Amino acid sequence: MQNSFLSQVKGKLIISCQALPEEPLHSSFIMARMARAAKMAGAAGIRANSVVDIQAIQDETGLPVIGINKHVFPDAETFITPTLKDMRAVAATGVPVVAVEVTGRTRPHQGDLAADVQQFRSEYPDTLLMADTATLANVQEADRLGFDIIGTTMHGYTAETTGMNVADDDFAYLKDVLKTTKTPVIAEGKIDLPEKLKRCLDLGCTAVVVGGAITRPLEIAQRFIAAIQ
Ligand SMILES: CC(=O)N[C@H](C=O)[C@@H](O)[C@H](O)[C@H](O)COP(=O)(O)O
């Protein structure tokens, strides 16, 4: 089987439809309806969290999905698809891409990312792996491990990158990522304006993931409320 994900999303927008249990829209039904809206608007793909949400979105839209399983363990900082078991569960839904955190942070039960990637490849040779990275060192590590896609997902979300935003200084960090790797780059994280999406593509990203600015009404409403406080 050939994986056509990269050609399907090239130069296009992927919309992340996610709501954690503590968020007001937490529901596979609602995420599937969010994904329906994303498809109607012209999104080329969806990013989704958890097996149930992925399946509901696949049934609803038929769009290619970047699947993740956010899983918090008491002994680990890494939480995006942090174990081989999580990777397998996501891949078993038939998604073309499984995204995995590559931040060098602690993994559950002192798990070894390189070993998990190797084992996963032997079980799911047709599934692409996306690295959710935070720093240029993470990008290099992802390349060393043979990831198929580099994401900027975790930039600004680790202790080392707190307060940073991929859009700072006309996307200076993203430009460095694009110089560091020849692997397709998907810009993701805090891309909150159409102009920013366009700029990421013009700089050479393969695709862009936008989440909260489209699918998290609580965040959107809070931005409006903040303007009058
Ligand atoms: C750091 C983290 O947990 N990021 C998650 C990764 O899947 C999601 O919560 C984000 O919504 C997604 O990356 C899209 O980013 P934004 O919502 O900023 O457009």
- All structural domains of the chain, each given as residue ranges with its CATH number in brackets, are 5-226 (3.20.20.70)
- Is 135 within 8 Å of 161 (Cβ atoms)? yes
Q: What mean pLDDT do residues 2-19 have?
A: 97
- Tell me what the mean pLDDT of segment 208-218 comes to: 98
Q: Is the pLDDT of residue 221 over 90?
A: yes
pLDDT tens across 40-97, in order?
A: 999 999 999 999 999 999 999 999 999 999 999 999 999 999 999 999 999 999 999 9
Instruction: Give the closest residue to 133 by CA, choosing from 112, 152, 108, 115.
Output: 152
C-beta of 210 in contact with ligand 1 (< 6 A): yes
Task: State the pLDDT at residue 228.
Answer: 98
Nearest CA to ligand 1 atom 4: 153
Output the six-digit token pair for 163: 């307060």
Tokens 């940073």 sit at which residue?
164
Record the tokens describing residue 2, joined without a space: 């050939």
Q: How far is the CA of 14 from the centre of ligand 1 (A)?
A: 12
Residue 153 Cα to ligand 1 middle (Å): 6
| Structure confidence at residue 2 as a pLDDT band (50, 70, 90) | confident
Burial readout 116-140 (b: 16 or more C-beta within 10 A, e: otherwise) = bbeebeeebeebbbbbbbbbeebbe
The confidence band for 205, taking pLDDT boundaries of 50, 70 and 90, is: very high
What are the C-alpha distances in Å from 124 to residues 8, 87, 151, 225?
Answer: 20, 10, 20, 46
Q: Ligand 1 in contact with 188 (CB < 6 A)? A: yes
132 CA to centre of ligand 1 in angstroms: 10
Per residue in 185-201, pLDDT (tens digit) is 999 999 999 999 999 99
Task: Provide mean pLDDT across the span 34-39.
Answer: 98
* CA distances (Å), origin 222, targets 13, 214, 219: 24, 13, 5
Is pTM beyond 0.90 here?
A: yes
Q: How many residues belong to the chain? A: 229
Q: What does the pLDDT average to over 144-155?
A: 98
Average pLDDT, rounded, for the chain: 98
Confidence band for 26, pLDDT divided at 50, 70 and 90: very high
Phi and psi at residue 178, to the nearest 5°:
-65, -30
What was the pLDDT predicted at 1?
Answer: 57
